[in-house]
Amino acid sequence: MPVYNPPLRDMQFVLHELLNVSAELQALPKYTDTDIDTINAVLEEGGKFASEVIFPINISGDTQGCQLNRDTHEVKAPDGFKEAYAQYVAGGWPSLSCDPEFGGQGLPFVVNQCFYEMLNSSNQAWTMYPGLSHGAYECLHAHGTPEQKALYLPKLTSGEWTGTMCLTEPHCGTDLGLMRTKAEPQPDGTYKLTGNKIFISAGEHDMAENIIHLVLARLPDAPPGIKGVSLFIVPKFNVNKDGTLGERNGIYCGGLEHKMGIHGNATAQIVMDGAVGTLVGQPNKGMQGMFVMMNAARLGVGNQSLGLTEVAYQNALAYAKDRIQMRSLTGPKAKDKPADPIIVHPDVRRMLLTAKAYAEGGRALAIFCSVLLEKVHNHPDEKVRKDSDDMLSLLTPITKAFLTDNGFNAATQCQQVFGGHGYIKEWGMEQFVRDARINMIYEGTNTIQSLDLLGRKVLGNQGASLKKFGKLVEQLVKAEMANEAMGEFIQPLADLGQKLTQLTGEVGMKAMSNADEVGAAAVDYLRVVGHLVMGYFWARSAQIALQKLAEAEEEAQRPDPFYQAKLQTARFYFTRLMPETSSLMRRIRAGSEVLMDTDAALA
């Protein structure tokens, strides 16, 4: 059976030593009372909930899956899911970072994200039920009318109701401008929606008394394409003006997708047959509201893969220490046993360290983005809000695509550590691999994220946002260039920064005459930028580790193994993972012709 221990020590390192989050938050008026002890206490209790309540029902939920009653269109979640959700609601966890005006606890979003990392490690399929609700909450909080907020936000905050985002349709994929769902205005100011949506995560279940669907649809006079899309609230049960539930609405589950992974989550085909909805925001401006959900979801999906990377690593590490097989190439290490633990073998260590480096580096990036989001919404200085928004806009597609690519890679590598046992269900590793695969696909495939990064976030503003992150790298390089101990981290980071600047200019020049150059370069380009970003956080982590180890030596104290481990993992990242960028840049420079001049090959 798999195991999971919340990585609280590393979270505390990132929060309090690497990013100094409490000081950053105290600069925001709404968080002046937030301190380290509060953050640590909440996360400690959150870790207990994740590991003790929802982790034990992860494999069973995957095995059982969701069950659709085709007569009633009701879906039953796996055994234990509803009870676990009731504990989640009773513990006040849904309201953690929500607005106190609507019953929330008002804690920083970054605390919620750390909690959700642990939930994702424990049971991604279960976590998606409350996770989608946060997106619906944020969308209505930003774009709902006062009446809509008063009616829906208190119940979303408490967790009594859950939410979804109903975007795509069978013929659309990511091209939402092709959608056909119709919204007909009614004399009472409501709308009747008719159409079909697919791939709706947590779209139907028995865990909460109501589900608030946020649906994209077209008004009768809507212009074609994405500019003619509007956003609507369409509840499972209509909501009376006093907040009580009315009659069943004309929105229901027509089928469940039979999926490779996340079996415990109901990925629903949603049918609307004259369903009553209310407009959110302005007509034909629905994507403004939906982007609030979509951007939050993209950060959330990166967090999902971060959680899977961590739990896969923990289990592979435990197995490698216990499993004995063959002898070390340099001679027996466990002389009292017939074979050595497989952790003595170099390639097993490579696989373990790959997952560890991506988990800890990904955690730093995810938490950094959470702090940026707080600054965007709450910092009193307009310039700081603007700079934070630019930075977050740049890092969102990286967080989604780079962390999910890495998460699938790490889960696969950790499965490989188990050998044949990794293919067997009872060990849990094959589920981590299957669950991790979806994260590269949904909320905009990783290719879509890559096109967004290179086409819009870099070339679209002449690299202005990328230069802002580059300044962080430059500051670190200047501060540590003369520090010999930091040379093994600073030199490759500085070198990659210079090469990326040159590469970006080359791609931009080619794209001016041939837009396919962007499409040909985008996926590899995102990974190069991803390594620059992660390399920055790993260099800063090594900086702190070196300082702490030096302080211990000066005071004749025993070195802290945590900082020793951090330093060793940083060395592995810079010598074994970051060099991937050399082949990536070579592929980018190969251009689009070798891909597009291939009609004969693809005939």
Return the active site residues.
443
Written as six digits, the tokens of 215 are: 């649906």
Q: How far apart are CA 62 and CA 260, in angstroms?
A: 10
Instruction: Report the first-to-last Cα separation within the chain, whole angstroms.
Output: 48
Nearest 5°: the CA angle 192, 198, 199 is 135
For tokens 């990783």, what's the residue?
446
| Contact in structure between 249 and 236 (CB atoms under 8 Å) | yes
Beta strands in 422-485, from DSSP E residues, in sequence order: none
Q: How far apart are CA 394 and CA 372, in angstroms?
A: 11
In angstroms, the Cα distances linking 335 to 307, 338, 574 are: 36, 7, 34
Torsion of CA 51, 56, 62, 63, to 10 degrees: 170
CA atoms within 13 A on the CB side of 138: 22
Residues β-bridged to residue 267: 201
Q: How far apart are CA 491 and CA 307, in angstroms?
A: 31
Q: How far is CA 430 from the centre of its chain?
A: 20
Q: Residue 558 has what DSSP assignment?
A: P
3-state secondary structure of 248: strand
Q: How far apart are CA 66 and CA 64, in angstroms?
A: 7
3-state secondary structure of 231: strand
Written as six digits, the tokens of 217 are: 């649809």
| Contact in structure between 480 and 486 (CB atoms under 8 Å) | yes
For tokens 């600073």, what's the residue?
490
Residues β-bridged to residue 272: 195, 251
CA atoms within 13 A on the CB side of 326: 10
Written as six digits, the tokens of 59 are: 């494999």
Written as six digits, the tokens of 543 are: 């900086």
Give CB contacts under 8 A, 24+ apart, made by 429-432. Answer: 429/2, 429/312, 429/315, 429/316, 431/58, 431/59, 431/62, 431/261, 432/308, 432/311, 432/312, 432/315
H helix or E strand, kind and range, residue 277: strand 267-280
